[in-house]
Structure 1
């Protein structure tokens, strides 16, 4: 008669293992649980933020493409600062007309001066939106890097405490050593449970943010070209 294998985790009670941990191990395990919640919050929040911004960018770009001229658009187009593409457009237009007004006051107005100010404004806005795309990524990268080391620290500490407890006994056996070692290994498991999903999420979000950065750089270049053509 074939033996029936035991169900998964039947011999392992995570709560009992956690309770066998010392104070340091419990603090590290709870801390890793908090980091896991933070990581999942960042990953879901950043995913939906990038997705929403990409849709808004494409909608705004399509609307601008349908306009016959950009230089004569009303100021209402410059108030949509929440959209990255609109933010670049607003900075470019404000800089263009500001340079034109100052140039006329001083009697040195020129197309070259207007375009130089416009390109500088686009570069500043582009850098600002790049930081916006990459925001919160440093926290996720820190969790990805730090979680396994925190788990390893808890394991090393727990193993050291287990051997220290065995050393004061008259006899040592696997029965006396195993509970302390298993409790110590719990922090390593917790660190890996936090780090493994986080590293996949980080790489996915990093690829998405790089794609959006490339798209906004192309948009800034196309916008500068169109303003130059219309200003002639």
Structure 2
């Protein structure tokens, strides 16, 4: 840490500006990391709670709706509520063509579940682009600072009569500091992005599984009412 501080203090104004920009990006990305980690942990806990409630109540749709109607943040509850409301908008029909009724019910439930899953996917992926930008841009900013610093070292060598290694070593060290800062900012952001992406895919797979189970129960329920 002392090496980084001394290298930063030896940097030119351009190097310091680049380092400060990298630090700001790193702080912002860490804020996103902490927020998303909490969001995913809460979402996974809510999915498990819904699964337990779903298993406990079984096919009692009205009771399940009453239990989940106030669970605004639970992605599985929102999925069920969307399907439940959609299927109750479909007016029961008295004709004998049950195939037509089933097709309408299935289509309505699928539309509702797809909308709910898409909304959840957008919510889960919100902020992840900041991590990808930090992971990709921070090393480039660090490289820019290093190249800029090396150019300044060469210019100083050109002005000096007989430069020695002691004269150019501090400049080279200061130039490399920006690359170090860039890598330190990029690595956690890249690791967090990939870990979060795995959790997004896992939660979406769980929601799609819930959607299939909910759709089957709702369709059977509505078909019984239509008879």
Q: Distance in 2 between matches of 1:184 and 1:20?
A: 9
Is 1:92 aligned with 2:83?
yes
SS in 1 for 2:57: coil
Maintained 8 Å contact 1:100/1:114? no
More helix by share: 2
Unaligned residue ranges in structure 2 (runs of 5+): 95-99
Paired residue for 1:25?
15
1:97-116 to structure 2, matched below 5 A, reads 97-100=88-91, 110-116=101-107
Maintained 8 Å contact 1:91/1:122? yes
Is 1:173 aligned with 2:174?
no
Is 1:36 aligned with 2:13?
no
SS in 1 for 2:91: helix
Is 1:127 aligned with 2:105?
no
How far 1:170 moved relative to its partner? 2.1
Paired residue for 1:6?
none
What is the aligned residue count? 217
How far 1:111 moved relative to its partner? 4.0
How far 1:131 moved relative to its partner? 1.4
Maintained 8 Å contact 1:60/1:85? yes
User: 1:126-171: per-residue Cα shift (whole Å, max 9, x none)?
Assistant: 1111111222111111111111111101000111111112212222
TM-score normalized with structure 1 length: 0.85
TM-score normalized with structure 2 length: 0.87
Q: Provide the aligned C-alpha RMSD in A.
A: 2.1
Q: Distance in 2 between matches of 1:206 and 1:112?
A: 35
Q: Distance in 2 between matches of 1:172 and 1:45?
A: 51
Higher relative contact order structure (alpha carbons within 8 Å, sequence separation ≥ 6): 2
How far 1:196 moved relative to its partner? 1.9
Q: Distance in 2 between matches of 1:68 and 1:190?
A: 54
- Between 1:73-82 and 1:150-159, the stretch displaced more is 73-82
How far 1:14 moved relative to its partner? 3.1
Q: Distance in 1 between matches of 2:102 and 2:191?
A: 49
